[in-house]
Amino acid sequence: MALRRDALFALAVVFLLAVPGAGLYSPSDNIALLKTDNFDRILYNSSNAWLVEFYASWCGHCKKFAAVWKELANDIKEWRPAVRLAAVNCANSQDKRICRRFQVTVYPTMKFFRAFSKPPFKGEALKDADSKSSLVSLRHYIIDLLEQHGEAEWPPDCPPLEPTSMAEVQNFFAVNKVQYLALIVEEESSYLGREVTLDMLQYENIAVRRVLSSEANLTAMLGVQKTPSCYLYFANNTFRNVTVEMPIRAFYKYYLSQLPGVIRVAPSLPTVEPMNMTTAPPWRDFDSSKIYMADLESSLYYSLKVEVGTHQVLSGKNLTALKHFISVLTKFFPGRSFVMKLLQTTNSWLEEGNMTSISYNAYIDVLNNKNGTTGALLPDGQKWVSCQGSRPQFRGYPCSVWTLFHLLTVQAAKHNKSMADRGETTQADPLEVLNAMRQYVKHFFGCGHCAKHFEAMAQESMDKVSSFDEAILWLWSRHNRVNDRLAGADTEDPKFPKLQWPPPDMCTECHSAHSGEHMWVRDEVLTFLKTHYSPQNIDYSYLEGEQELLRKQKPKEEIQQGQQKVPLKEEENEDEGEEEEMTEEPPKNDEISRTITD
C-alpha cells in the first residue's frame, strides 16, 4: 500500500510539472494573449503602441494585479487604435523563453513598445509601475508614454495630445472635416483633456483638444470662469459652454457621445449577398425611460419556444432548469392575464406527476395550448421596441433577456416585502431569480461563450448575495460589466453603444465623483432600478389585443386537430416543417453571441 501511495505521488508530481501554467487572462478581457508563435508578428511594426505585462500565473502579486490589468484594459478600450494591452504568461513552458529573451527577472513586469517598434528592441520597462499600481496611475503613465512618441513614429490613428492654441482653433475646421470641436480647459497637471480625447477616438464627427488655463487669449475668448470646463466650438466661430452635473471624464464622454451626428465608427461587416439579406422591420419609436411588454413577451417566446427547442428531450439538469425558470416566471412576471394563465398551466403540468423526462413535442403542445384552456396563450414571434437594433442582427433577444431578469429581481423584492408587510414568516430565497437565470443561461442560452462568461461571474460572487436588494444590485453590476467588456466590439450596434447604465440623463443622483473619478451611488441606483423595472413603468404600445390573438389562434387549433388524423409518417414530416418554420425567424446563434448584452 505504501509503495502504491509513493507511486501515485510521483505520478502526480510528474503531471503537475508537465502541465503548462494556466493563464490569468482570456481574450474576453480585452487583453491580447501573446505567445511564442505570435509575439513578434503582433508587437513589431504595429501601427499602435503596446503595453505588455510579463507575469507568472503562480505569482501571488500577479494574481492580485490581474484585476487591475483587466480593469485597465476595459477602461481604455476606446484607446485601442492608439494603444493596446497584452500579456505573456512566463509560467507557461512553451512561452517562458520569451521572458528570458526580454530579460524579465521579476513578476509582474510591464514594458512599453512604441508604434512601429523594430526588433531587437526589448521594450521600455515601466520603472515606477508594479503590482501595487492603481488604475488611475497606470492610465496616466500610458498617456505620458504615448506623448514620448516622435512625429515619425506617432500612431497614425492617435489624435494630438498636446495643448492647442488660439491659432489652431481658429483654423481647425479648414483642415478637419468634423461637426464639433470640444475644448477641455484645464490646469497643466490635469490629464482630463487627454483622457477624453482618447475616449472619443472611435467616434466620428467630433474632435477633442486640450486647452491650458494659461492660454490667456483662448480662455479669454471663451470666457472661462473655472477649470476644468468644456466648450463646443463650431465652424462658424461660435461656441457654447458644456454643462454637466460633474466635470469628470465619464460625464464629458457621455455628453459628447450623445451629440447629434456623433456616432461610434461602425464596425466593418462582411458583405452579404442580396439573396441572403434580411429586410429590416419598420422602425418603432420608443421612450428609453420605459420598458415595453412587447420586448418582454418576445423574450418569452424566443426563450421558451425556440431556445428550449434545441433539446429534443428534456431531462435531468435541463428539465430542472426549465422548471425553475417557468416557476419564477409564474410567480413574478407581471404579464397580461392570458399569458399568465398559460404560464400557470405550463408550470402545473411540469410539476404534476414528478416527471423525470419529457419530449419537446409534449412540452410545446402545452405551450401552444393544444388542450384548449380558455383564455391562455403566448403570442408568437418577436416584436422588438426598446430592444430593436439599427439592423436586424443587432440587439433584440439578448437585450430583452437582461430586461426580463432585471424586472424579475425587482418583482421578487416587491413580493418579499409584501409578504413581510402581511406578517408572513415564510423564508423567501433572495437567490431564487438569480439562480433561475444562471441555470437558464447555462443550459439553454444559445451563445456558449456568453453562457460561460456569465457562469464565471456567478461562481465569483453570486453566493454572497444575501438579500433581495443585493440581488437587484448584483445583476445590475454584472450587466454593466458585460456592457463594459463588449463596448466597441464589432457586435455592438453603432446606434446604441454599450454604456454604463443608468446614464446621467436618466439618473443624475446615481452618479458621484471621488478624486476626479466616477463613483456609483448604490442606494440611488437601487431606488432607480426599483422604479424603472416596476409594472407601473411598462408600456403596452405595439401589442395586439387578446381578442385578435385568440382569433389568430383558432385556425392553428383547427390545423392541429386535422393533423392528428394524418398517418404517423406524415405527422412526423409536419412536425419537422413546423420546427423549421419556427426557427427561421429568430437570429442564429452566432448572431445572438453578442451576449446577453444591452
Residues 428 and 318 grouped into a single domain: yes
Q: pLDDT above 90 covers what percent of the chain?
A: 59
C-alpha angle 572-575-577 in degrees, rounded to nearest 5: 115
Q: Does the residue 212 lie in any domain? A: yes
Cα 214 from Cα 164, distance rounded (Å): 11
Residues 199 and 52 grouped into a single domain: no
Q: Does the residue 242 lie in any domain? A: yes
Whether the predicted pLDDT of 532 surpasses 90: yes
* CA-to-CA dists, residue 120 to 19, 103, 123, 330, 405, angstroms: 30, 12, 9, 65, 53
pLDDT by residue (tens digit) across 352-362?
867 889 999 99
Residues 117 and 203 grouped into a single domain: no
Would residue 59 show up in a list of annotated catalytic residues for this protein? Answer: yes
pLDDT by residue (tens digit) across 466-490?
999 999 999 999 999 998 888 877 7
Residues 179 and 48 grouped into a single domain: no
Residues 171 and 149 grouped into a single domain: no
Q: Does the residue 459 lie in any domain? A: yes
Query: pLDDT: is 105 or 155 the higher one?
Result: 155
Would residue 62 show up in a list of annotated catalytic residues for this protein? Answer: yes
Helix or strand or coil: residue 368? coil
On average, the pLDDT of the chain sits at 84
Which of 59, 90, 99, 447 does the annotation list as catalytic?
59
The CATH number covering residue 419 comes to 1.20.120.310
Task: Determine the average pLDDT of the residues in 1-27.
Answer: 46
Which of 62, 90, 99, 387 does the annotation list as catalytic?
62
* CA-to-CA dists, residue 152 to 121, 156, 161, 194, angstroms: 17, 10, 15, 20
**Which of the listed residues 153, 176, 195 is the one where a domain comes to its end?**
153
Whether the predicted pLDDT of 569 surpasses 80: no
Q: Does the residue 100 lie in any domain? A: yes
Q: Does the residue 92 lie in any domain? A: yes
Count: domains in the chain: 3
**Which of the listed residues 490, 517, 539 is the one where a domain comes to its end?**
539
Which pLDDT score is estimated for 277? 40
Q: Does the residue 468 lie in any domain? A: yes
Residues 141 and 235 grouped into a single domain: no
Tell if the pTM clears 0.75, that is, is over it: no
Beta-strand pair 263-264/203-204: antiparallel
Residues 36 and 97 grouped into a single domain: yes
Whether the predicted pLDDT of 372 surpasses 50: yes
Which pLDDT score is estimated for 547? 82
Residues 311 and 413 grouped into a single domain: yes
Residues 249 and 337 grouped into a single domain: no
List the strands of the sheet with 49-55, edge to edge: 32-33, 83-89, 49-55, 109-113, 124-125
The CATH number covering residue 201 comes to 3.40.30.10
First to last CA, the chain: 59
Residues 74 and 131 grouped into a single domain: yes
Given pLDDT bands bounded at 50, 70 and 90, which one contains residue 22?
Answer: low
Q: Does the residue 4 lie in any domain? A: no
Task: Please give the residue range of the domain that contains residue 176.
Answer: 166-264
Given pLDDT bands bounded at 50, 70 and 90, which one contains residue 267?
Answer: very low
Task: Determine the average pLDDT of the residues in 243-267.
Answer: 89
CA nearest to 242, candidates 186, 184, 191: 184
pLDDT by residue (tens digit) across 161-200?
999 999 999 999 999 999 999 999 999 999 999 999 999 9
Residues 25 and 49 grouped into a single domain: yes
Given pLDDT bands bounded at 50, 70 and 90, which one contains residue 556?
Answer: low
Whether the predicted pLDDT of 565 surpasses 90: no
Q: Does the residue 462 lie in any domain? A: yes
Residues 186 and 310 grouped into a single domain: no
pLDDT by residue (tens digit) across 119-137?
989 999 887 666 567 889 9
